[in-house]
Amino acid sequence: IKDVARGAGVSITTVSHALSGGGALKQETRDRIRELDEQMNYMPNRSGQNLKSVRTGVIGLYVEYIRGFYGQLADFMYGKCRESGYELDVIIASDGRAVLNNLLSCKVDGAVILHDRLCRQDLEILMKAEMPTVFLDRKAAGRRMSSILFDSYQTGRMVAEYLYGLGHRKILLVEGKNTYDGIERSRGFEDCLEEHGILVAESRRLYGGFDRKEAYQAAKRFLSEGMSLPTAVFAANDDSAIGCIQALHEAEISVPDQVSVVGCDNIELGQWFLPSLTTVDTGVADMGKAAIEEVVALIEGKHQGSVTMIPGHLVERASAAARTG
């Protein structure tokens, strides 16, 4: 197959796609490869096609669920996969062991992982196996391992500075999971407020779990306890922000007239929700495309793994306003 690829001036993956009927190739490219294949009497080794050395033409995206942000990410990744001659398999797994078993069974050529159930030992196994892997939820780098991450610390600082500039001082923080993004967004937010002389008390910190229903229930409990109403809420992601707004609406609290709400991730629903959601566009399109480019480079051995940070930008909509009174 290497000889066919060399003769056609294409990659081994392109030859594999052309001969198997897979991939997104121009018909003229496919025909040229097949013609050269016949001239060279190439015969694939069928017994070796299940070995790691033979590529599948598939990249795996490993997640815990596919709603909201995850669905958008998968869409952008799939488009880039098609451009690169790969297919994308989305594997929804409940735990790290299931992810590891699938990866090491050689069903994919490389992996993009956004799954917080993988532990340090799992990462060590992947690194030793030299499985081309890109993480979207932790810092990791090795010969065939990279990370593409949102700059979540700066995202948290950006929201804090924005709300402070609007005059808000009593702010409720709805935190996400105990993951890289959840921790860094909260840390950046609190660091910035602390520099302005504002501390986020435990009573103004809720756990929303990056989940709409969980954030809704946490906000309902907070409101039912008769606590002093904040003038603004920062939710660790848009799903959590939408859950909070729903709880505020049911309590007949106006957003943003009484309480401003800011989310994070800029999911598609945010612009159609009422009121439309002020958020941080964390660059999901950039992340999806960069993740595929990086995993393909690792598969093809073009460079060593590295850590890349993607900056976000504020998207102002109707759910946040200057504090009045």
Q: How far apart are CA 272 and CA 274, in angstroms?
A: 7
Residues 6 or more apart whose Cβ sits within 8 Å of residue 165 = none
Q: Regarding predicted confidence, which is higher, 17 or 306?
A: 306
For residue 69 the two structure tokens come to 């942000």
Q: What is the pLDDT of residues 169-210, one digit of tens each?
A: 999 999 998 999 999 999 999 999 999 999 999 999 999 999
Q: Which pLDDT score is estimated for 34?
A: 79
Q: Regarding predicted confidence, which is higher, 38 or 56?
A: 56
Q: Regarding predicted confidence, which is higher, 221 or 35?
A: 221
Q: How far apart are CA 163 and CA 313, in angstroms?
A: 14
Pairing of strands 145-150, 171-175: unpaired
Q: Which pLDDT score is estimated for 49?
A: 43
Report CA 322 to chain centroid distance, whole Å.
31
For residue 238 the two structure tokens come to 């848009």
Residues constituting the chain: 325
Short-list 124, 117, 110, CA closest to 61: 110
Q: How far apart are CA 315 and CA 262, in angstroms?
A: 10
Q: How far apart are CA 114 and CA 136, in angstroms?
A: 5
Q: What is the pLDDT of residues 269-320, one digit of tens each?
A: 999 999 999 999 999 999 999 999 999 999 999 999 999 999 999 999 999 9
Q: What is the mean pLDDT of residues 153-176?
A: 97
Q: What is the pLDDT of residues 92-108, one digit of tens each?
A: 998 888 898 888 887 89
Q: Which stretches does DSSP call E strand in the chain? A: 58-63, 87-92, 110-114, 133-135, 145-150, 171-175, 205-207, 232-235, 260-262, 279-281, 307-310, 313-315
| DSSP one-letter string for 281-305 | E--HHHHHHHHHHHHHHHHTT-S--
**pLDDT confidence bin for 45, thresholds 50/70/90:** very low
Q: Which pLDDT score is estimated for 106?
A: 76
Q: What is the mean pLDDT of residues 246-271?
A: 97
